[in-house]
A = this chain, B = another copy of it.
Amino acid sequence: MTQDQQKLPRYSGIATFMRSPYQPSLENVDIGLIGVPFDGGVTNRTGTRHGPREVRNQSSLMRTVNQSTGVAPFDLCRVADIGDALPDNPFELIQSHNAIQRFYEDVVARGIMPISAGGDHSISLPILRALAKDGPVSLVHFDAHCDTGDDYLGSKFHHGSPFKIAVEEGLIDPTKTIQIGIRGSVTDKDIWKFSHDSGMRVIYMDEFYKLGTEGIIKEVHKLVGDTPAYITFDVDGLDPAFAIGTGTPEVGGFTTFEALQMIRGLSGLNVIGGDVVEVAPPFDPSGATALVGATMMFEILCVAAESLANRKKSGS
């Protein structure tokens, strides 16, 4: 059905991610596109539970070949929309994370690489728990916030802390973690102390334009090399002009062109999965943020499919 639906008018048919086939059975899938409609970890404006559906909707505008890199992910791998990772009890944060983790454990067990659309950024934690069973992975992290914060309003787990916990749980290697786009006012000068103390490479917007996207790409490759790498893209890394539909927009971010350049520059990494998070449709009257989210998800898919195809070719 895939090829069929992707050739039909883009406004037609049910909305799956990038009009890929809908395969909730998880069978015959190399790369699974997954929604995680959970926003129980949000500290301010909520609504990312509606993210996966709107990203699916706007992703109809995606086509099958990356014109810039030439990668054709649907030709390289069997890509399917495998549905949503759902919390059993969406009213309770920790139980929800556990349920999401179980979904991804099943996905990983079947040898499927997950590319996900959130949901708030706290969902990266249960995904990493499922993916990093064999030791900490590298992390390429686009965001306005380091998300390595402490407890907030009585909870250790929220969308501002997943990567601190991920380090503590041995899921990511902080010395192979790079955080790009950090900015915004803060409640505490040392709010991202954990990132610095643990050895993460933090690229604030103040440094961003000094390095340029090419410089940043070089740093990523130097840092990550060929270790297993997870890509996480919080749309609030982008300037609000490009992505207003998110919970904690921060003025002064990078552009979508720069984001495209950076994700394309990840080609060659040993990608094991990725996500695009924090698309909040209720704050996105024009739908532009969901479109941007869908585009970034497509670009991550291209890099991931290329990486997977290379691994298969090389028999690894």
Contact = CB atoms under 8 A, between A and B. Distances in A.
A11 B45 contact: yes
Contacts of A204: 67-68
Contact of A47 (B7, B47, B92, B95): B47
A194 interface: no
A53 B1 contact: no
Interface stretch (A110-118, A224-232, A240-248, A266-274): A240-248
A14 B81 contact: yes
Interface string A49-81: 110110011000111111110101000000001
Interface residues of A, number: 96
B186 A67 contact: yes
Interface string A17-29: 0000010100000
A306 interface: no
Contact of A46 (B47, B68, B249, B256): B47
B183 A68 contact: yes
B7 A187 contact: yes
A45 B1 CA distance: 23
Contacts of A295: 251-252
The A contact surface, by secondary structure, is loop
Contacts of A8: 84, 86
A303 to B, nearest CB: 14
Interface in A283-311: 283-288, 291-292, 295, 298
A155 B288 CA distance: 29
A215 to B, nearest CB: 15
Contacts of A206: 68
Interface in A32-51: 35, 37, 39-41, 43-47, 49-50
B286 A64 contact: no
B22 A64 contact: no
A279 to B, nearest CB: 13
A12 B24 contact: no
19 contacts: A6-B187, A9-B44, A11-B50, A11-B53, A12-B52, A13-B84, A39-B46, A40-B40, A47-B47, A64-B186, A67-B184, A72-B189, A89-B154, A91-B154, A91-B157, A239-B257, A241-B255, A249-B288, A284-B286
